[in-house]
C-alpha cells in the first residue's frame, strides 16, 4: 500500500506534523492484553463492586428485571454498529424502531410528541426548561426542592450562563411542593415551574393544582419523571406542557449511573422548539411508507449557533432497550409490573413504620419512601453491609432538615424476606439507641 501511494515508510505519512511534537517513545500505558486477561481484569473489578448485594437504593436509578431478549436484540450488529440514521434508505430498522419508541412514550406520558432521546433525565429536565424559556420569552424558573437534587444541580449549571435565575419552592409536611410558597415565587418573568412526580421522596405531586397555579400566571409546567415504571399505575402528568423523563427503569442496566435514556415529550404545537432528533413518517418515490429524521432545521448541524440545543449524539441504543422493554410488558404487563412495585413498597413502609418513622405517610406514593431513624442511617447501613445489604440512601447530604432520614426503594425484585431482614436490622438499631438513651437518662439521674 505504501508503494501504491509512493511513500517509503509509514513515518512519511506523519511528515505534516512538525517533528518537535511527534512522539518518539511508547505511550506509558500497560502492554497489550489478551482477551482472557481483559475479561479477568473486569471480573475482578466486578467482585469489588457490590456484586451479590441486595439493595434498597433507588433515587433516580432503579433495579428492575431486564428481559433477556433486550440484550439478544440490541446485540445484533445491525443495531449496535450502525450510525445515526441520516441515510434513510439503509436505516429503516433504526428509524422505524425510533418511531415506535416515540409513539409508546406519547401513549405513556399522555403527550403528543416525543423525541428520539436525550442524554439522561437530568439533562432532559434542563433542556425542557430551556425550551419553556424560548417558548414564553421569559427567563426565570421556579424549581421544586422535591426534584432530584442532582437534577437541580445540573439545571443550575445550564442556567448560570443562560441568564436564567432559579428559585426553589420547598415541600410541606406531606412531602409535596408547598403550593402557597410556589405561587409566591412565580412572577411575571417566570417561564416555567419544574417539578418531579413521583418526586424524589417517591411521593406523587398534585400535578393538576401546580399546573393551575403555573398557567394562571402564564408560566409553563415542566414535569420530570425519574421512575418510568410508575407510569404503569400512576396517572401521567397530562396537565404538563413538557415532560422530561428518565427511562432507565425500562430495561436499562444500572451500570453505575449510565448510559441511561432521557426523553422529552410535549404538545405538538411546541415541537419546533424541541431539542434533539425526531423521526417522522413519509413515503418514498413509489408511495411506500418509510421513516426519516425530520425537522432538522432545529438542530446544530443545520442551524449552528441558532439551534435549539447543541445535542448531536444521543442515547439511541439505550432508547432501543427501552423500546423493547415497553414492547415486552405492553399494555397489561406494565400495569401489573407497577402494581407489584407498589405492593412491595406498601408492605415495606408498613413494616418500617412499626419501628421507625415513615415520613409523608398520608400522601399517595409509588415505590420509594423516607424512613426517619434515631440512629444515623450511615451507621445503620454499615451494619446492613455486613449482611450483604445496601440500605436506603441517607438524605443528610441533600436534605439536612430531615435529620436521620433515608430514602428506601422497593421494586418487583425486592423479596419479602429481604425486606424483613432489613426491617429487623433497623428495628434492632432503634431498640439499642432507645435503651442506651434510657441508660444515659438513668445515669444522669443517678449522678
Which one of residues 175, 236, 356, 377 is an interface residue with other proteins (CB under 8 A)? 236
Three-class secondary structure of residue 140 per DSSP: strand
> Does 35 interact with other proteins (rule: CB under 8 A)?
yes
Among 170, 218, 257, 424, binds other proteins (CB under 8 A): 257
> Least separation, in Å, of the C-beta of 211 and other proteins?
14
Cα gap 229→326, rounded to integer Å: 10
DSSP 370-429: EEE-SS-HHHHHHHHHHTTEE-PEE-TTT-GGG-SEEEEE--TT--HHHHHHHHHHHHHH
| Residues of span 140-159 touching other proteins by CB under 8 A | 148, 150-151, 153-154, 156-158
Size of the site for other proteins (CB under 8 A): 188
What does the alpha-carbon distance between residue 326 and residue 323 come to, in Å, rounded to a whole number?
A: 5
CA distance linking residue 196 with residue 176, whole number of Å: 10
Task: Tell me how far, at minimum, the Cβ of 195 lies from other proteins, in Å.
Answer: 14
CB of 241 to other proteins, least distance (A): 17
b/e map of 403-417 (b: 16 or more CB within 10 Å)?
A: ebbbbbbbbbebeee
Q: 367 and 201 in contact (C-beta within 8 Å)?
A: no
354 binds other proteins (CB under 8 A): no
- Residues 301, 362, 443, 444: which binds other proteins (CB under 8 A)? 301
In the complex, the smallest distance separating the C-beta of residue 131 from other proteins, rounded to whole angstroms, is 13
- 54 is a contact residue toward other proteins (CB under 8 A): no
> How many CB atoms lie under 10 A from the CB of residue 311?
19
Q: Phi then psi for 49, rounded to 5 degrees?
A: -130, 50
- Judged by CB under 8 A, the stretch of 132-140, 186-194, 213-221, 227-235 that binds other proteins is 227-235
Stretch that binds other proteins, among 16-24, 213-221, 421-429, 432-440 (CB under 8 A): 16-24
In the bound state with other proteins, the residue whose beta carbon lies nearer, of 178 and 381, is: 381
Please identify, among the stretches 181-189, 212-220, 255-263, 433-441, the one whose residues bind other proteins according to the rule CB under 8 A. 255-263
Cα-to-chain-centroid distance, residue 326: 16
- Provide the 3-class DSSP secondary structure of residue 199: coil
CA dihedral (296, 221, 194, 151) in degrees, to 10, reads -30
Where does this chain touch other proteins (CB under 8 A) — which range of 38-46, 354-362, 424-432, 436-444?
38-46
Residue 106 CB contacts under 8 Å (≥ 6 apart), including other chains: 112, 113, 114, 265
Shortest distance, position 384 Cβ to other proteins, whole Å? 10
Q: Is 381 in the site for other proteins (CB under 8 A)?
A: yes
Residue with Cβ nearer other proteins (178 or 309): 309
Which residue from 54, 57, 214, 227 is in contact with other proteins, where contact means CB under 8 A? Answer: 57
CB 245 within 8 A of CB 60: no
- The stretch near other proteins (CB under 8 A) out of 180-188, 278-286, 353-361, 423-431 is 278-286
Q: How far apart are CA 415 and CA 348, in angstroms?
A: 10
Distance of alpha carbon 209 from alpha carbon 136, whole angstroms? 20
Asked whether position 8 contacts other proteins by CB under 8 A, the answer is no
In the window 425-444, what residues touch other proteins (CB under 8 A)? Answer: none
Pick between residue 160 and residue 438 the one whose CB is nearest to other proteins: 160
Q: Kindly identify the residues of this chain, within the stretch 389-418, that bind other proteins according to CB under 8 A.
A: 390, 393, 412, 415-416
**Per CB under 8 A, which region of 31-39, 133-141, 174-182, 353-361 contacts other proteins?**
31-39
Q: How far is the CB of 382 from other proteins (least distance, A)?
A: 8
CB 369 within 8 A of CB 423: no
Residue 103 burial (CB count, 10 A): 14
Q: Which of 8, 137, 188, 305 forms a contact with other proteins (CB under 8 A)?
A: 305
How far, in whole angstroms, is CA 440 from its chain's centroid? 45
Name which position in 96, 136, 273, 421 contacts other proteins (CB under 8 A).
96
In total, the chain counts a number of residues equal to 447
User: Are 250 and 230 contacting, i.e. CB atoms less than 8 angstroms apart?
Assistant: no
Q: Are 66 and 325 in contact (CB under 8 A)?
A: yes
Q: Shortest distance, CB of residue 232 to other proteins, whole angstroms?
A: 7
Query: What values do phi and psi take at 186, rounded to 5?
Result: -75, 130
C-alpha distances (whole Å) from 142 to each of 39, 167, 168, 359 are 48, 5, 6, 25
Give the interface segment with other proteins, choosing from 95-103, 134-142, 180-188, 428-436 (CB under 8 A).
Answer: 95-103
Interface with other proteins in residues 156-215 (CB under 8 A):
156-158, 160-163, 204
Q: Which is nearer to other proteins, 37 or 173 (CB)?
A: 37
Figure out which of the listed residues 292, 370, 423, 425 binds other proteins, where binding follows CB under 8 A.
292
Least distance to other proteins, CB of residue 283, Å: 6
Amino acid at each position: 500500500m505504501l508503494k501504491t501511494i509512493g511513500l517509503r515508510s509509514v513515518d512519511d505519512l506523519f511528515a505534516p506534523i512538525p517533528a518537535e511534537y511527534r512522539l518518539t517513545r511508547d505511550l506509558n500505558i500497560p502492554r497489550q492484553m489478551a482477551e482472557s486477561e481483559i475479561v479477568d481484569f473486569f471480573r475482578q473489578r466486578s467482585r469489588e463492586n457490590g456484586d451479590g448485594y441486595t439493595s434498597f437504593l433507588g433515587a433516580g436509578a432503579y433495579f428492575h428485571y431486564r428481559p433477556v431478549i433486550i440484550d439478544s436484540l440490541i446485540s445484533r450488529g445491525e443495531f449496535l454498529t450502525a450510525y445515526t440514521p441520516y441515510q434513510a434508505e439503509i436505516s429503516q430498522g433504526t428509524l422505524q424502531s425510533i418511531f415506535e419508541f416515540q409513539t409508546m412514550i406519547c401513549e405513556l406520558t399522555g403527550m403528543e410528541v416525543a423525541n428520539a432521546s436525550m442524554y439522561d433525565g437530568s439533562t432532559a429536565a434542563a433542556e425542557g426548561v430551556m425550551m419553556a424559556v424560548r417558548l414564553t420569552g421569559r427567563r426565570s424558573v421556579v424549581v421544586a426542592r422535591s426534584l432530584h437534587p442532582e437534577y437541580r444541580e445540573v439545571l443550575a449549571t445550564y442556567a448560570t450562563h443562560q441568564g436564567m435565575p432559579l428559585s426553589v419552592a420547598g415541600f410541606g409536611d406531606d412531602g409535596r411542593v408547598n403550593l402557597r410558597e410556589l405561587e409566591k415565587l412565580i412572577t411575571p418573568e417566570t417561564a416555567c415551574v419544574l417539578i418531579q412526580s413521583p418526586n424524589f421522596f417517591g411521593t406523587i405531586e398534585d400535578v393538576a393544582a401546580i399546573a393551575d397555579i403555573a398557567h394562571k400566571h402564564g408560566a409553563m409546567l415542566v414535569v420530570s419523571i425519574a421512575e418510568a415504571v410508575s407510569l404503569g399505575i400512576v396517572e401521567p402528568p397530562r396537565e404538563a406542557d413538557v415532560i422530561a423523563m428518565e427511562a432507565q427503569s425500562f430495561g436499562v442496566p444500572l451500570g453505575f449511573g449510565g448510559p441511561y435514556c432521557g426523553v422529552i415529550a410535549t404538545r405538538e404545537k411546541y415541537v419546533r422548539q424541541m431539542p434533539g432528533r425526531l423521526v417522522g413518517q413519509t413515503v418514498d418515490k413509489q408511495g411506500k411508507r418509510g421513516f426519516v429524521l425530520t425537522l432538522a432545521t432545529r438542530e446544530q448541524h443545520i442551524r449552528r449557533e441558532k439551534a435549539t440545543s447543541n445535542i448531536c449524539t444521543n442515547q439511541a441504543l439505550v432508547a432501543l432497550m427501552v423500546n423493547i422493554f415497553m414492547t415486552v410488558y405492553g399494555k397489561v404487563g406494565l400495569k401489573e409490573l407497577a402494581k407489584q412495585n407498589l405492593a412491595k413498597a406498601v408492605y415495606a413502609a408498613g413494616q418500617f413504620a412499626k419501628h421507625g418513622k415513615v415520613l409523608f405517610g398520608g400522601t399517595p406514593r409509588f415505590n420509594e419512601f423516607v424512613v426517619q431513624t434515631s440512629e444515623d442511617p450511615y451507621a445503620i447501613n454499615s451494619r446492613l453491609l455486613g449482611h450483604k445489604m445496601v440500605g436506603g440512601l441517607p438524605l443528610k447530604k441533600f436534605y439536612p432538615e430531615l435529620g436521620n432520614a433515608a430514602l428506601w426503594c422497593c421494586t418487583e425484585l425486592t423479596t419479602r424476606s429481604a425486606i424483613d431482614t432489613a426491617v429487623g436490622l433497623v428495628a434492632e438499631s432503634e431498640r439499642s439507641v432507645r435503651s442506651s438513651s434510657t441508660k444515659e437518662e438513668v445515669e444522669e439521674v443517678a449522678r
